[in-house]
Structures are given as C-alpha cells and as structure tokens.
Structure 1
C-alpha cells in the first residue's frame, strides 16, 4: 500500500511508468416479490452490489491516529469520524492498517503495541483499538478488513531502536537491512510461520470481515543494492534454479498457507491482496499487460497472476494509480487486463484508486481534472468483473480536492450498494415487516428476521404485488443495517410508499424480499416541482430547448454549451418557512452530456452532477437550510471546465 515512503516510489514508477404529535397512518401488508427477478433493465449508476472502501493508514500517522499520544477519547473520536465519513460517502467497508511495522493495534503476546498509537513501541494505549474499531464499524454496517504489512519491521535500519522484547531484535537472524529499512527475511520458514501466527491471532480473536495484505513483499529495488539473503538461499533454496524463482515461491507459500489457515478458522472471512498495479509487461511476457513500468513479478517477487489463477485469494485489488491515457501504464489498459485475469476464476477484482493524486500539486495535468477519478469508474462499468474500488487514502477522500470525490460520488454513489456476495452459502429466509408507522420524523419500520444485516427498499405507491425489477439494482435501496429497525427520514409527507426488507448473511447472500408494507400519504407536507417549462424557470438566450432524449421531465428540457462565464438557468420557488429541505434534480442522460454540471444552491453551495448517466429519475443534491420567501433557489451553471452539454430540466424541493 502506498505510504509516505511509497509516495516517492509511485511517483518514480509513474515516470517509468462523497413539537407536534405524529400523525399515524395505517400500514398495509402486500404480497412479497418473487425471489427471482425476470430480466430487468438496470441503471449502471445505481448497481445493486459494489464494494466501496477506503484505506485508513496508521503507519507514520498518515490517517489515524492523526498523531501519537492522543488520549483514548481523542483517538476514538477520530476513528468514529472516519467511519462517519465512509457512511456519508455511501461506502460499505473500510480497510484499516492494524500491523504497520511489525507492531500491533491489539494486545498481542507475539508482537509489541504499535508505536503509532502512543509514540513508543510497546506503549499500552489504554484500550483495545482493534476491538473498538470492529464494534464501531459493525454498528454502521461497514465491513472491517484488517490490513497487515507482512515483512516490514521498521522504516529505519537500527535494531536498537526496536523495543527490547521485539521478535526482530531477539532473533537477529530473522531480519535484514535494506535501503535504510528493516525487514523480516521472507526466505526463512520460521519467519513465514511467525507472520501467519500474528495474523491468525487477530483472525481468531476478533470479528474481522477480511484480511488484507498490501504491496510490500520483498523490498522495492534500490539502485546498486542487493537483497542480503544469500545465506538463506543457500540453506533453503534446494531445487530452485535461481534465487529469483526461490524468492517468488517464498511469497507464494505465505499467500497460499495464509489463505488455507484463514478459511480453516473462519470460512466467511475474506482474504485479499492489493498489489502494485503491473504484474509483467507484455514486452517481457506475452501474458502481461500493454505497459512499460515496474514489474512486480520481477521487482518484488509477487506473482499475483498465479495467486488469482490458483484461487489463493478471495479478491485482488491492484493499485492502478495512473490516469487514463498515461503512456507507461494506462488505467484503461490495466483495468481491462486485470478483468481478463480474474475472468472465470471466482476471484473478485477491486481497483485501488489514487485519491491522493486528484487535485494534488505536482501531479500530471490529468489529475487536475475533477472528473478523472469519476471517469475511472466509468471505465470499470465496461468490465463486469470489477466488483468495486478502494481509495487511498482516507485523508484524501476527506480533502476532496477540486471536488474530485464529490464528482465521483454524485455519478456513482448516489445510492447505497450491497457488498458483493462471497462463496456459495445459502441465503437466509425472508424477514417480515412487523410495523410501519408514519410520524413527524418520517416512517418508522420494524421487522423480524435471521440475517446478519438487512437491506431496506422503498417504492412509490402501493402496488398489489411487487415488481421484481424494483430490486434488480439499487434505485429503490434506502439503506443497509444490522439492526431490525429503521426510520426513513427522507419520506415525503403526502406521498404513499411501500417498503420491503431483505436479509443478508455474513457473506452477503440475499433473501427474497419480505412482503411489502404500504404507508399511505399523510398530506400537509410541502413539496414543489419546477419544470423548465414553468413560470419559475428563467434562462438566457444561450440556452436551447430540446426533446431529443426520451428521459425528459415534461415535454422537453434546456441545454447549453459550457462557457467560462456566469450564465445560470434559475429555478425560482416560494419557500413557506425557514428550515431543512431536500433538493432533487431531474435530467435526461446521454454520453454527450456534461460529466460535472454545476448546480448552485442559494446558500452558495455547488454540487456537481454527472449528466452522462442516472437520467430519467430524481437525483438528490442533498439537504439544505433554506430561508422563507420567493427567490431563485437552484441554478444550473454553464461554468464548467468539462465538455458536453449542461442540461436544465426540473427540480423538486421537499420540506424535511
């Protein structure tokens, strides 16, 4: 995984290479939907299943804790904030570094407490961070994948700086120094067993959802330096024609044996690796990718393609940290290559995304385009093998430089998503909704079921039977939760809905939906729709009118070319009272429309919407505090650096 020293390496290889009484209304139980949906037209912008995660790095205090020596309450508050960010951006997993430098984020009898907690290796932080992290993640229905760096001992080469009881200090024969750092020697069977024992200690004691290894296997090569493992090769290298094949087999053994041990202990725990993005170049190996960068097979002895083909991992998450069109390592080329590698294997493909590059100084011009990250996920849609993405790292997701992550989230994470299913275990039985009550705070649901988690769906109206296609993608998915209650605070007063709940097991196999539970409209709520043909809409002569698309709200919509000038189309509305309102937009979608259309909310907030997808439906811009009065509430701006028509069709404003 990219860490502070790794940033330099990635840059070098690149050169080489988001007080009233409740009015109670009756709820009606409706027939359940069929368990198997017929062939349905689905929206690629709202996939039913997609892993969405970010790496939370602890080494060098990159993400968490933000510095050493924080109090227990401060550390915990920081971690909760990272999880809340993940939820706010509609992620469903986090990958947390729990063993960064051969020291641990849990009380281990095998290795000392991590220095990144207290500032002193071996220093007790006063609580069990891993137990805390798992509990907090699961409370938000986020999977927690524990991230282990297998061989790195220290980011320095002075053994005397290690805690006196550190295994690498007590066993000097286990380690070597290389390029100013200390490593466990991958060629020693005793080391391989020890590393697995440390990881299995965490697996056996904590309710982890995944075990995750990063890209640090043998050290990345440093010019003019040789890995000092000749003695180990002499002792353990019988049967290998050269040291390079022997080194690769050492790493193969770690991966293969760890896979077996994890699944023998807990079959539901997912095991994955996030390697450097290039296995081998086609110029070296015809099985390789059309790239010309550093080759992990040769440089760090990671035969990642073999691990996939042999099924030694549940998922592979290559770090494809280069932009679309980069000559040395093109994102499109590598994504297609990895999709081909996993095809037919049962191994899931996740893509490691370089959120740290978007909008950062010193990066290529492509990374100054707010749509670059979002466009990566458009590329992913061409490959059904891509099961999701992991973003490096949490602080960059939060920074949201040049609105790059907001742009991605608006285009791809507008709705929640279930996690991809793993394995072949049987789905749980369908749950049963026991109550659905509308009140001033929304619609309160309760149900009974035997799932590990649940998915809550809502459709408009009260159909006699559910349409199976309503569950084919996530357009009707409200949330996932490990609880058996949920309050739909987005329910609009006066609108009738039908709710369904499905149950998921630990590996995310999904039950049939429950019988539907209908809630009638209560009336009295404020909601207004303003179409481009209504009196509340105004636009200059620079905006044309079109009925080209089959997805308009009403008879037509307005369009305009982007310009570097202020020429917004405005929607004027009468807001009855100051308060919180949801603002939604409707637009047709087309590949030739703009990937980052700016919507201006009256409080000077701007939300960028990718109008190439997600058309023909209401899309939420968010919840905003609006003042009472009649004024221009929402504008569609032409001022965007991305190409393609900007579209102004309709908006909906609803009092919450």
Structure 2
C-alpha cells in the first residue's frame, strides 16, 4: 500500500511539472495603468447675476443664453505589461511587470450652458477622448470644476466596482444627496475581462453645485483607495436645472386663520397685509387668494351680509376701512393679482353646539333660518350649520354675493374652496338623512339623493361663473376641490372620495366649462399614499381635455426645520415642496401652469414657512418674475403699448417711467424687459424669462440693485391686459 502511494504521488508531481500543464509568458499588449501627467485640480468660478449676466473667473463673459466651454489636456499615460504564469485550469499568477510612459493628446471639456437668470439650464457633461488604441475603454478621471450656484442639482452617473464596494458608495451618496434614488443592475459585468466588476446607475438631487462637486471629489478620492472605476466612456454627469418659465401662476392662500389674527386695529391689520405682500413680491409671487367671505359674512363693505367677526371680534361691526379694497390696491401696485376667496355654504366656523359667538342681526342665520341645514355630529356635542344647497333660492343668493363683489371691486378672480357638503371626521361619516325633506320637495324626476346633491353644487358653480362673465369677461373663476375625486381614480389611490362624501364633482365642472381653473388640494408628498405625482398627472389629463388650467394646491403649512411631525404623508421639508414645483413644470404639456401654496403662515407662525424654503425659492424656482398665463377662452384684446418712456438716474438708481396707454381699456399691470446691443443686432427675441426683469402695477420703477445694467443696454415696457395678454414693445430707452 505504501508503495502504491509513492507511485501516485510521483505521477501527480510529474503531471503538474509537465510543460504542457502550465506556461509562463509576457503579455503582448501594453495596458493602461494610470495618468501620470494630468491637472489634478482646476477651479473655475462662474457667477450669474440676474437678469442675465455671466462672469467667468471675474471676467465678463456676456449675457445668457451662453455656452462656456472649459477645456483641459492630458499629457501622458503610464502603461504596463505583465509577465504571467498560467497554470492548469486557466489560473494566472503575475510574476513580473514592466512599465513605460507614452505621450498622448487626450482632451476633455466641461460645457456650461446658461439659459436663464438666477436659475439655469446647467449642463456639466464630462467628455473624454484620446488617441485611438492608446487606452482601454475604462479610464479614471480626476478633475474639479467649481461653479458658484445655490440651485438644486439633479444628476445621474454610472459607477463600475466590485459588489462589496457598493455599500460604501451608497453611503457616500446618501451623505451628500437629498433622497438619493439608486437604480441597480445587479449581476451585469461592465467589462468582460473583469467579471467581478458590476455597474450601478445612481440618480440623486443635491442642494447646490457645491454639494455636487463635493460628492464627485469624495467619490474620486474613494476610487483611488479602492480602485473603483468611473467609466469615462459611459461617464456623463449631467446637472440639469429647469429654466424658469415666463408664464406661471404663483399664488398664496391668505386664510382667515393667517390674517388678521389678534390685530384688531385698522393700522395694524393694514401693516400685516403689507408685510405679507412685500414678502410675496420679493419672492416673485404674482397672485394672492384672499379670504373675503368665511361664514356668511364679509371682509369687505357689503349691503347683503354683516362685517366679519375676524376684523373686530364682533360680527357686524364696521372695522373702519375696507380690507378687500385695500388688499386689491396694494397687490396691484406690486403687479400681483387678487382673487377673492369665498366659502359658499358655511354659516358658522365654530362647530360647538353651544357656541358663545352670536351672529349679527342681518346674518343669514337670522334673516332666513329656514335656509339653514343643521347637522348634529359626534354624540350631539358638535353641530355644523350650512346653507342648504338643495334650496334653489340659496343658489340665487350665493350667486348674488359673487355678483356684488365682481361689480364693486377690481378683483381678478373669484375662488371657491372645497367646503360644499360637510367633511367626515371622528364619529361622523358625513351627511345622511338631514336634507331628505328638501330632497323630496325639490328633486326633479327619478334621481338619487346622492346625484341630486352633486347636481345642487354643479348648478351653483355654473350659475356663479355665468354671472361673473356677464359682468366682467376677464374675471377668472376657480375652485380648489379636495385632491381625491374618487377612490381608485387613478388606480391605487385611496383617501376620502370628494365625489361620494362631500358631493363635489369637479369633472362635471370641467365638462360644462363652468370654471376657468382648478387648484386641487394635493396635500401629500410625492410617492406617499395618496401620491402627489399620480394625482397631478390624473388631474392634469382631465383639465387638459377640457382646455382649462390647473394650478395644484401644495401645503407648505407643515414645512419647518429640524423636526418631524409624524405626518408621514404630508410634505415637511423644503425639498418636498420644491420637488413638487419641479414636477409641476415637467407637466406643463397637460396644462399644469403654476401652483398655489397653503397657507400664507406656517405651523411656526412664519410667513410662507422657513427661511431655508424662501431662500431656495428666491435663488431658484422663483428667481425671476413671471406673468400668470393668459386664458384663450376669455377676453383676448391686445392692449396698447405704453408711451413716453424715459430714463433717469436718481440717488445712484436707474428710474424708468412711462405713460399709461391713452385708450379706454382698463390697465393696471406692466412688464419691463432688458436687452443688449448684440441682441438687437442679431435680431434675437428677448421677450422671454431671461430678459423679463420686472412686473409692476405702477407706471414707474427703480431698477433693482441686483440687476446689473451696462452702458448700451436697452429697456422696454409692455402693457398687460386683465387677461395677461401683453402689448407690443414700447419705444426703447438706452442706458448711456
């Protein structure tokens, strides 16, 4: 037995030692090892100053739109050739290595395309090319380009690495990015010659371009330590930002909860409104939706209903001025629209059955008690009082309220919220039998009580719109319905069904062309349940079919720094809201032409929420002014251009003045454009967001200091109709 073992061992050694079972050779190809002469760091400072001025490393580069190409050169490569021992079974062992240096003419470039002031279409494609046959497909690039910008950056790129490295890579991205989305393709080798390497595509949003650069720097540093490859052949880092549109509805709801608060003196109330409007104007909002009728009362001078208790603490007491008239004038001075917000059916804010707040003698609950629908809820401890929508006289009464406002006030719109039939809440599932007697009395034909209720609301919406248009054709009528029309519409959407519970049928209003715009209350995050993105697409498609506009309602009330309220479906961060605005803009093709923010004051009692949120709006999405979109189905008269445009310098400021057009048309708004001499020579169109520097309701303007004007630049004015149609350009003035 021992003899046989010796023979077997001898045979194994002989087989292994036989020349045909292993071979030693030098590889015949030189392969890439590293760059040895390459600029490791290039810093380029790019600054854009609204409206459209660009500096590169402190030198004026021109006005946007403009391409800036920044090139670099690769001088040498380090190549290697390996001596390999290949054993039986194909296993390789590197025995030796030779290196050599080869000169190449590799080039790369970053191209920045600046398209709009303040918030740009910014492209950072990294391109790389070398002499054919010099390097393999995969190369490492170490380069820094820094752009000074405070805007949200969306980017995506591919990384090739071993599987074990991706946990570290994801951690790096998570540390830098805002909610990274990682798209994985596991099990797909990047290079055939390197089967242990896999590729993943990473997509993410970053706070600004500095965050973008920091992420790239960190990834490159990590790649040197762990031999992670960033493939230049597939490496297309693209930081793309949306261009601000010239036309976009940007509105804020000012609720009775936001204003006037504890202020009961006229001067303090006026100052509070001015402070709000100034902040909105500074952020380039162009519309305000002001609560003018809360509970069968009026925040304006009415011969029909009593003064609101919100103004003085007691219903029916004259506050000493007219808030609606005041805010219309102040909004218009700032070039902002004013839409009067009306709660149609609500009679009392308080739902306590033993409410201690008495109504005035001329309140509808006193003058027409038979019109009031009393609903007891929650073990009879709470009561809801509303005008009975099933009574035809109620529809006429509410139509007369809106008719009165449109006749007496220079409002730009009338706005209804979703307070139709009562909302359900704990121990109350909604209206049931309370209006059964009204149903029996007023129904026509064989119609269910549910369809009859929807018909009541539809008739009110239709009649209000018809009366508005008979008085002033340009006044828009909008409604902000609850965000879920009906469960599973679109598929998978849950939540209260407005159609079945509060009898709000927004699709009927669209079909009947009874409204000009919808602002559905989409008060949820993207990707939550219900899902903002799915609902936006569904509503947009319906509005597009009806040839109307949608300005989705977004809730900024809960946005605050550092704390989580536990309302997981509600937007709580600035980024949640900005993502929604970006999504709105991506859906302009389905008539998503703006947005409406709720509320004017957030949970921390700050106007429009956190400073972070307002700064991100100011430097990004709302960095430039915009006009609301015009509505082709309304009055389409082209206004006359302003005349006698003049320019002067006062206290080191550029003052622009003009005369109101001499026609009888009613004007209150103007747009101001700038252009340089080259724009004129080239015949370029400059009537866009890049060149629009102001929207104002006055016939003079001091050019803001942040807008850097140069000698030889031109200024133009346009009149804007009440349907937001612009005139031709005025005669120009030139800065000398």
Alignment TM-score > 0.5, same fold: yes
CA, structure 1 residues 176+480, in 2 after alignment: closer, same or farther (shift >3 Å)? same
Deviation of 1:113 (Å): 0.9
CA deviation string 1:380-419 (max 9, x = no partner): 1221111111111111272523723432443210000011
**Aligned: 1:375 with 2:590:** no
Instruction: Show the 5 A alignment for 1:512-527.
Output: 512-520=728-736
Quote the residue 1:596 is aligned against. none
Pick one of 362, 374, 377 that aligns with 1:165: 362
Deviation of 1:224 (Å): 5.2
Unaligned runs of 5+ in 2: 1-113, 122-241, 378-382, 662-666
CA, structure 1 residues 253+158, in 2 after alignment: closer, same or farther (shift >3 Å)? farther
Deviation of 1:192 (Å): 1.3
Q: TM-score, normalised by structure 2?
A: 0.61
SS in 1 for 2:299: coil
Quote the residue 2:293 is aligned against. 99
Deviation of 1:485 (Å): 1.8
Decide which moves more: 483-492 or 385-394.
Answer: 483-492
Instruction: Show the 5 A alignment for 1:244-393.
Output: 244-282=450-488, 288=490, 290-326=492-528, 328-359=529-560, 361-364=565-568, 367-384=571-588, 385-393=591-599
**Aligned: 1:45 with 2:243:** yes
CA, structure 1 residues 438+125, in 2 after alignment: closer, same or farther (shift >3 Å)? closer
Partners of 1:240 and 1:206 in 2: CA distance: 42
- Mapped contact 1:103–1:112 kept (Cα < 8 A): yes
Quote the residue 1:403 is aligned against. 612
Partners of 1:102 and 1:158 in 2: CA distance: 19
**Aligned: 1:448 with 2:645:** no
Partners of 1:370 and 1:131 in 2: CA distance: 33
Quote the residue 2:373 is aligned against. 176
Unaligned runs of 5+ in 1: 1-39, 521-656
Q: TM-score, normalised by structure 1?
A: 0.68
Pick one of 207, 219, 224 that aligns with 2:410: 207
CA deviation string 1:30-61 (max 9, x = no partner): xxxxxxxxxx9886432111111101111xxx
CA deviation string 1:74-96 (max 9, x = no partner): 11111111111211111111000
Quote the residue 2:232 is aligned against. none
Deviation of 1:484 (Å): 2.2
- Mapped contact 1:356–1:392 kept (Cα < 8 A): yes
Q: How many residues align structurally?
A: 471
Deviation of 1:167 (Å): 1.9
CA deviation string 1:460-518 (max 9, x = no partner): 4465447443223x121111122222221325476542112122111111122234322
Partners of 2:502 and 2:289 in 1: CA distance: 23
Instruction: Show the 5 A alignment for 1:217-236.
Output: 217-222=420-425, 223=428, 226-236=432-442
Partners of 1:152 and 1:475 in 2: CA distance: 45
Quote the residue 1:115 is aligned against. 309
Higher relative contact order (CA 8 A, sep 6+): 1
CA deviation string 1:233-291 (max 9, x = no partner): 01011314310000000000000000000100111111000110111133xxxx64541
- Mapped contact 1:427–1:505 kept (Cα < 8 A): yes
Partners of 1:110 and 1:329 in 2: CA distance: 41
- Mapped contact 1:317–1:352 kept (Cα < 8 A): yes
CA, structure 1 residues 494+131, in 2 after alignment: closer, same or farther (shift >3 Å)? closer
Partners of 1:269 and 1:399 in 2: CA distance: 26
Partners of 2:320 and 2:336 in 1: CA distance: 25
CA deviation string 1:277-326 (max 9, x = no partner): 111133xxxx6454111111111101101111221001100010000100
Partners of 1:453 and 1:136 in 2: CA distance: 13
Deviation of 1:429 (Å): 2.9
Quote the residue 1:506 is aligned against. 722
Partners of 1:493 and 1:190 in 2: CA distance: 60
Deviation of 1:333 (Å): 0.4
Quote the residue 1:87 is aligned against. 281
Quote the residue 1:634 is aligned against. none
**Aligned: 1:471 with 2:687:** yes
- Mapped contact 1:455–1:502 kept (Cα < 8 A): yes
CA, structure 1 residues 302+118, in 2 after alignment: closer, same or farther (shift >3 Å)? same
- Mapped contact 1:45–1:411 kept (Cα < 8 A): no
Pick one of 57, 69, 85 that aligns with 2:255: 57
- Mapped contact 1:215–1:276 kept (Cα < 8 A): yes
Partners of 1:103 and 1:278 in 2: CA distance: 29
Quote the residue 2:147 is aligned against. none
Instruction: Show the 5 A alignment for 1:443-592.
Output: 443-450=654-661, 451-461=667-677, 463-465=679-681, 467-472=683-688, 474-490=689-705, 491-492=707-708, 495-520=711-736
Partners of 2:429 and 2:592 in 1: CA distance: 38
Quote the residue 1:143 is aligned against. 337
Partners of 1:212 and 1:440 in 2: CA distance: 42
Partners of 2:594 and 2:734 in 1: CA distance: 33
**Aligned: 1:188 with 2:399:** no
CA deviation string 1:542-565 (max 9, x = no partner): xxxxxxxxxxxxxxxxxxxxxxxx
CA, structure 1 residues 41+140, in 2 after alignment: closer, same or farther (shift >3 Å)? closer
CA, structure 1 residues 433+45, in 2 after alignment: closer, same or farther (shift >3 Å)? farther
- Mapped contact 2:335–2:670 kept (Cα < 8 A): no
- Mapped contact 1:309–1:341 kept (Cα < 8 A): no
Deviation of 1:356 (Å): 0.7
Q: Bigger radius of gyration, 1 or 2?
A: 2
- Mapped contact 1:240–1:246 kept (Cα < 8 A): no
Deviation of 1:440 (Å): 4.4
Deviation of 1:144 (Å): 0.7
Decide which moves more: 110-119 or 250-259.
Answer: 110-119
Quote the residue 1:29 is aligned against. none
Partners of 1:133 and 1:45 in 2: CA distance: 31
SS in 2 for 1:343: helix
CA, structure 1 residues 398+153, in 2 after alignment: closer, same or farther (shift >3 Å)? same
Decide which moves more: 400-409 or 81-90.
Answer: 400-409
Partners of 1:302 and 1:201 in 2: CA distance: 25
CA deviation string 1:107-141 (max 9, x = no partner): 22221111111111111111222222212221222
CA, structure 1 residues 365+230, in 2 after alignment: closer, same or farther (shift >3 Å)? closer
Partners of 1:148 and 1:410 in 2: CA distance: 33
Partners of 1:182 and 1:460 in 2: CA distance: 61
Partners of 2:482 and 2:692 in 1: CA distance: 34
Q: Considering only aligned residues, what root-mean-square deviation do their CA atoms show, in Å?
A: 2.3
